[in-house]
């Protein structure tokens, strides 16, 4: 089965919309949050728990899987899905973000990026063609072009050069991509410069992709700067193609981005936060390790997940304070379930043409504790 996107409903109030991603491994309703399975696992959760807390689409990290265990071993198992016992849909990133984060250990050229292994120091090279070859071996349903992700506040001249390089790499990525059962997405760059964002999008549309991602955000810029980019891009993005906002995954940012027409999201925040005791609740984020919850018989939230049904804040706090991994697992499950339920409510509100009222009520409650 080939990849396809079907748009369902667009709000009459804003750019929020619902749709369906049709993949070889299942249909995915949008807007959708994708839990991150960096090294072929969503940290602390089993594949069965990851399925319960997602819409059946998770993300794998090309850079880390390339280095360990290696794409050849994963291909030997029949692809990433079979390797990790995940019979559902997968998306892999290009590996570029991780490489570019190694600012002291890499050199960017038009051919690709020379860098050193973040642990061993081994010299490595990643090109658009190499990234595609790795992702084809991993076998995800959706894969990404290699792009350069410069700092949001990079000098204008450098940002112009970076956008042009990313477009050249996008063309090379498409030329290298041979698997018909995978959808290759292009990535829009340009920092906070509207004209460069427009040029990036126009260049990618000329090349032609089944989906478009917005990159270079959630990299330290302010909320206002991020939303300004999305406000500018929202009416320019092709209506018939899915829109993937990379690296965004907090409740506030998700709802604000959905309002601006984004369909797909990923972020390590929900599970990373959980491992340090942070839990999402209707009334905002709490630190469950706080002494205030030492005797609390309340659940994490008014939620129908098994964590909130069966366990108290005091017990979960005890587990985390004792460094028991079960505590991390419980909060990770809850946080992902919270986002799944939140986006289900968002989809319902869009369908009822009541999205802005829904968003405003949720955010008023969520911000009530000042977080």
CA distance 59 to 57: 7
266 labelled catalytic: yes
Dihedral of the CA atoms 150, 155, 157, 162 (nearest 10)?
A: 0
CA distance 205 to 210: 10
**223-233 vs 251-259: helix axis angle to the nearest 10?**
30
Residue with token string 């692809």:
79
Active-site residue identified among 93, 141, 263, 301: 93
Residue with token string 């797909």:
264
3-state SS assignment for residue 6: strand
Contact of 106 with 75, CB cutoff 8 Å: no
93 labelled catalytic: yes
Instruction: Look at residues 2, 3, 62, 80 and name the one whose alpha carbon lies nearest to residue 264.
Output: 3
281 DSSP β-pair partners:
284
Contact of 188 with 200, CB cutoff 8 Å: yes
245 DSSP β-pair partners:
214, 265
CA distance 334 to 362: 18
For residue 42, report the phi and psi dihedrals to the nearest 5 degrees: -80, 115
Active-site residue identified among 141, 263, 266, 301: 266
Sort 317 into a burial class: Cβ within 10 Å, 0-12 / 13-18 / 19+: buried
Q: Cα–Cα distances in Å, from 290 out to 30, 113, 276?
A: 35, 44, 11
Give catalytic residues, as residue numbers: 93, 266
């Amino acid at each position: 089965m080939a990849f396809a996107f079907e748009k369902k409903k667009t709000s009459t109030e804003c750019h929020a919309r619902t749709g369906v991603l049709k993949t070889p491994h299942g249909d995915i309703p949008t807007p959708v949050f994708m839990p991150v399975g960096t090294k072929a696992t969503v940290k602390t959760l089993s594949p069965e728990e990851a399925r319960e807390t997602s819409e059946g689409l998770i993300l794998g990290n090309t850079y880390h899987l390339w280095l360990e265990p290696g794409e050849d071993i994963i291909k030997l198992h029949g692809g990433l899905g079979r390797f990790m016992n995940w019979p559902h849909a997968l998306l892999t990133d290009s590996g570029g973000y991780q490489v570019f984060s190694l600012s002291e250990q890499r050199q960017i050229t038009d051919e690709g990026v020379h860098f050193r292994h973040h642990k061993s120091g081994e010299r490595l090279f990643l090109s658009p063609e190499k990234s595609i070859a790795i992702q084809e071996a991993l076998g995800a349903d959706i894969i990404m072009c290699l792009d350069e992700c410069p700092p949001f506040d990079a000098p204008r001249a450098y940002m112009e050069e970076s956008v042009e390089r990313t477009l050249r790499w996008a063309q090379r990525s498409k030329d290298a991509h041979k698997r018909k059962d995978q959808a290759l997405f292009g990535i829009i760059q340009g920092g906070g410069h509207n004209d460069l964002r427009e040029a990036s999008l126009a260049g990618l549309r000329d090349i032609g992709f089944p989906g478009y991602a917005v990159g270079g955000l959630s990299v330290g810029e302010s909320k206002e700067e991020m939303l300004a980019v999305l406000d500018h891009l929202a009416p320019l993005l092709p209506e018939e193609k899915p829109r993937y906002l990379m690296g965004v995954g907090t409740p506030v940012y998700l709802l604000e981005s959905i309002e601006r027409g984004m369909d797909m999201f990923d972020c390590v925040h929900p599970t990373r936060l959980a491992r340090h005791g942070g839990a999402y609740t209707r009334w905002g984020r709490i630190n469950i390790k706080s002494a205030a919850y030492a005797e609390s018989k309340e659940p994490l939230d008014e939620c129908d997940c098994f964590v909130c049904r069966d366990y108290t804040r005091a017990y979960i706090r005890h587990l985390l304070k004792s460094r028991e991994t079960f505590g991390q697992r419980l909060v990770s499950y809850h946080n992902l379930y919270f986002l799944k339920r939140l986006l289900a409510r968002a989809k319902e509100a869009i369908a009822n043409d009541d999205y802005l009222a829904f968003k405003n009520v949720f955010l008023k409650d969520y911000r009530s504790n000042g977080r």
